[in-house]
């Protein structure tokens, strides 16, 4: 008989604990819904976006798009048949910048890069750079080109709200006569 009472106590205890849990869960749900009703719909939307969707703000977008000025040579390989080297300078800073359109061409050697002599001159004055600038260099300006890796570079003046600094834009390509 004692075993029956103990088993009954266990069952009764389980029912009481289960009812208490159910009751508490119901109370928690009621408290949650009451709290949610008190919060404005706009802040809920904001919190949901922040947690689940991560809406991109202007600041977030600025972090994703690196604010740079970049030089891209159009082709990876130029040959003796090519008359000119075509390049693009892209400005993703969101501000007008400046670039000095005096190209510097260097050939890669065992010891680094060495200047390639040019038969023409450039003024060295900075030109305005908006979002993008496309240009070309006549390869005949560099009569000593031989097979190898070359680096084209331009100087640019990058301005931010706090600073103005000179940077070097660089890109490489291969050349085969």
Provide the terminal-to-terminal Cα distance of the chain, rounded to the nearest Å. 106
For the 67-176 domain, the top CATH level (class) is mainly beta
Whether pTM > 0.95 for this model: the answer is: no
Between CA 91 and CA 129 the distance in angstroms is 7
In the prediction, which pLDDT does 44 show? 42
- Stated as kind and residue range, the H or E segment containing 133 is strand 132-138
Query: If you search the block for the tokens 């600041």, which residue do you land on?
Result: 59
pLDDT in tens, 11-64: 555 544 454 444 444 443 444 444 444 444 444 444 434 433 344 444 444 444
pLDDT at residue 5, as a whole number? 54
Name the band, by pLDDT with cuts 50, 70 and 90, for residue 124.
confident
pLDDT in tens, 53-92: 344 444 444 444 567 999 999 999 999 999 999 999 999 9
CB 131 within 8 A of CB 90: yes
Q: How far is CA 34 from the centre of its chain?
A: 43
Report the distance separating Cα 136 and Cα 155, nearest Å: 16
Instruction: Give the pLDDT score at 63.
Output: 47
**Is the distance from CB of 166 to CB of 69 less than 8 angstroms?**
no
Q: Which residues are CB-neighbours of 123 under 8 A, at least 6 positions away?
A: 102
Q: pLDDT for 138-167, tens place per residue? A: 999 999 999 999 999 999 999 988 999 999
What is the residue-averaged pLDDT of the chain? 77
């Amino acid at each position: 008989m004692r075993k029956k009472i103990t088993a009954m106590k266990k069952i009764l205890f389980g029912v009481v604990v289960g009812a208490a849990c159910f009751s508490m869960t119901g109370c928690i749900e009621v408290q949650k819904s009451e709290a949610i009703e008190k919060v404005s719909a706009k802040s809920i939307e904001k919190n949901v976006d922040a947690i689940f969707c991560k809406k991109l703000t202007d600041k977030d977008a600025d972090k994703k798009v690196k604010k740079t000025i970049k030089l891209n040579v159009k082709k990876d390989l130029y040959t003796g048949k090519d008359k000119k080297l075509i390049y693009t300078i892209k400005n993703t800073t969101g501000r007008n910048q400046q670039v000095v359109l005096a190209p510097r061409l260097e050939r890669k050697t065992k010891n680094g890069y060495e200047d390639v002599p040019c038969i023409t001159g450039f003024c060295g004055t900075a030109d305005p750079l908006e979002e993008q600038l496309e240009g070309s260099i006549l390869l005949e300006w560099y009569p000593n080109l031989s097979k190898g890796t070359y680096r084209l570079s331009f100087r640019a003046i990058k301005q931010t709200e706090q600073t103005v600094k000179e940077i070097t834009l660089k890109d490489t390509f291969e050349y085969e006569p």
